[in-house]
Amino acid sequence: MDDLKNIVSKNIIYLRTNNKMTQLELGNLLSYSDKAVSKWERGEAVPDAYVLMKLSTLFNVSVDYLLREHDEKELKAITRHRADRRIISLISILGIWTLAITIFAICWFNGSAQWLVFVYALPVSFIAMIVFTAIWGKKKNNAYFISLLVWSILSALYFTLMQYNWWFLFVIGVPAQIIILLSFRIRIRAEKAGLSEM
């Protein structure tokens, strides 16, 4: 049992520090105190099955990963895998903006500079970030990206219809922002209560 405690301890420490989290931040995400996290990391206790499942989801690893010992090569491979995900996200965003610049250049050479292309590139970028965050990242960050998406869509509509002075479009953003914040708050509470499948 002591071996298991030490293995789980090392894995939690590695995952937490690799994700630049404090014990308090990890505890808050798991609905536990930083003292409980400290106890796990000192090898004084092993988290129960429910916490192991939450840790595996949070760090995007299997429960088996948390219960096994890993050599340096395997840990480096996991770190590289995470870096690859960030690079894929960055390449996708750069691809969107490269396409926007290309469309702008083509229009400019044809005598009609379409600066709105850059305004439309913003919501497309936020959609990509929402997808990547939902798949690989911290899902709680999607609240920010969804908010930015809503405001960028409203901005794109405003600039497209600027001749009509439809400033009131931004009024729509206020209730939309409130809905986003409340829905993410409900989701966080449900996850803390273990009801995320509802």
Least confident of 22-31, 56-65, 130-139, 168-177: 130-139
Q: Whole-angstrom distance between the N-terminal and C-terminal Cα of the chain?
A: 35
Burial 149-159 (b: 16+ CB within 10 A, else e): bbbbbbbbbbe
Burial of 109 (0-12, 13-18, 19+ CB in 10 A): exposed
Least confident of 25-39, 129-143, 184-198: 184-198
Nearest-angstrom CA–CA distance, 74 and 173: 46
Nearest-angstrom CA–CA distance, 130 and 153: 14
**Higher confidence at residue 80 or residue 90?**
90
The answer to whether 107 touches 114, Cβ cutoff 8 Å, is yes
The identity of residue 41, as a single letter, is E
High-pLDDT (> 90) share of the chain, % = 26
High-pLDDT (> 70) share of the chain, % = 87
The overall average pLDDT reported for the chain is: 84
pLDDT bucket at 124, cuts 50 / 70 / 90 = very high
The H-or-E segment that residue 35 falls in is helix 34-41
The answer to whether 117 touches 104, Cβ cutoff 8 Å, is yes
**Higher confidence at residue 124 or residue 84?**
124
The answer to whether 70 touches 61, Cβ cutoff 8 Å, is no
Q: Give yes or no for residue 192 having a pLDDT over 60.
A: no
**Higher confidence at residue 73 or residue 161?**
161
What residue has token string 């449900």?
190
Q: What is the pLDDT of residue 78?
A: 67
pLDDT bucket at 141, cuts 50 / 70 / 90 = confident
3-state secondary structure of 69: coil
CB-side neighbour CA atoms (13 Å) of 87: 6
Mean pLDDT of 61-88: 78
The identity of residue 105, as a single letter, is A
Q: What is the pLDDT of residue 196?
A: 40
Mean pLDDT of 170-174: 86
